[in-house]
Amino acid sequence: FIIGEKFINNKGVVLILGDNLFHGNQLIPQLKRADFNNKGGTLFAYKVNDPKRYGVVELNEKGHILSIEEKPSNPKSSYAITGLYYYEESVVEYAKRIEASSRNELEISDINKIYLQEEKLNVEIIGRGTAWLDTGTIDSLHQASSYIRTLENRQGLKISCPEEIAWRNNWINDQELENLAKPISNS
């Protein structure tokens, strides 16, 4: 956020960590809802069987965040923090306030804790029907690849095709889509 300060230019921003894959038909409406609600910060959580491997968010009965723990030995919940975040423009100033961790890195968890302390941190629970795959290990990357390959082969459709996304959102017209498709027509 500090490096990207000029690009962010006092506007809200979305961060997705590079070792994540999201897929599902309810994902787009959920992303839009988080964007419209973005007062403070919003993190996305997903129920997992092995929360010890992840950052974990603890929620109260109303779905409000009580705490955030990084890879806890005794997790307070089964909701992993996925690595997808929406922040208002204050994130740059918050990033400047935090100190480097023992790994000599500025940690996203520390930014989330500032938003939590200021009661400006929201959560979106990714529900059933949407997949979140963490691809941070060789095995999990292979699982994610197999998942996408299976869907594409069964459906005959590409997952996350930028040209199709642009066309469906009316960012490009029919002719532009056709022009983009010609060089990859054997795909």
This prediction has a pTM of 0.83
The torsion angle over the Cα atoms of residues 120, 121, 126 and 127, rounded to 10 degrees, is -70
Residue 103's pLDDT is what? Answer: 85
C-alpha distance from residue 56 to each of 29, 53, 68, 70, 94 (Å)? 24, 9, 6, 6, 21
Residue 38's pLDDT is what? Answer: 67
Stretch 77-92: mean pLDDT, rounded? 94
pLDDT tens-digit readout, 114-169: 999 999 999 999 988 899 998 988 999 999 999 999 999 999 888 888 999 999 99
Percent of the chain as helix, strand, coil, to the nearest 5: 35, 25, 35
Give percent above pLDDT 70 in the chain: 98
Three-point CA angle 49, 119, 33, nearest 5°: 65
